[in-house]
Structure 1
Amino acid sequence: MIKNIAFGVFILVSFLSCSSDNANPEDKITSVTATINGVPMTFQAYGYGIDLTNNGYKLGLNFGRSVASPFEEYGFYLEMRYKKKGNNVIEKFIYHQGIIGNSFDGDFVDGTFENTVSVNKNSRFKATASGSLTIGDKTVTITDLKINYVYEDPFDSKH
């Protein structure tokens, strides 16, 4: 009887420890989506890196959108302290939109920009954000930005 109880406890503990790995399989796939001025868009992760500064390690992430037209491009770069999480912790969010006759470049942190970083570690970055930025007579509004970036090669765990 005691062997059966011990075996049952072993199976339960094994099941619970494995189930967390499979709880959110989408967390293992890079996906970046946003709505820009009312248009839903999907972005690709173009690169990531860590720089050592006087204030510690800075994480830089680069994203872009491939489109069929050579006259249209979208992208953004964000920068923040590596491993920092929380609300409004992104220090730079440089957005670029290149469309003939309607180009736009600016740092959304200078406008209205709300963000929440929930994961910022050596193998993954996850955040949500929204905001708007006006430069001259042009305004760009980003809503429902969702970033789940799983790095191809994790950073050294010593960082």
Structure 2
Amino acid sequence: MTDVKMTVNGQPVLGQVEGRTLLVDFLRTDLKLTGTHVGCDTSQCGACLVHVNGAAVKACTMFAFEADGAEVTTIEGMAEPDGSLSRIQQAFQDHHGLQCGFCTPGMVMSAAALLKETPKPTEAEVRAYLEGNICRCTGYHNIIKAIMAASGQDVSAAVA
């Protein structure tokens, strides 16, 4: 067992993990942060996307001990301090950027990373950035519309 210490959603966390424990499993099982989903276990779907030291990371590709000393943000850490939805989460709700909701946490985390890098992305930039996230329900149109709306762009003329 290895001791791990990290900051998760602004809170210090201390735990013990086996060397093979994935970050996604530590978050879900040990910390009970179940918003980070396990969709494929092969780094294909993006449902487990979190931010580690500000970078978007698929939590199924990282061992928990590799996050020792890191700052980790999960979907649970995306809400505003008063508990209301963040602008990205609100845009997903307003523009129906979800259906079953399974991929939504990873999509929101991806969107946050994109908007940090590119505050006003084009539709093509949004589509390219989401290549590592799979949604089997929406067809992506409303997800793209939500992300562009969250960036402050007018999407009233966009076709859903």
TM-score bracket, shorter-length normalisation = under 0.3
Higher relative contact order by CA 8 Å / sep ≥ 6: 1 or 2? 2
TM-score normalized with structure 1 length: 0.23
Higher helix residue share: 2
- TM-score norm. by structure 2 comes to 0.23
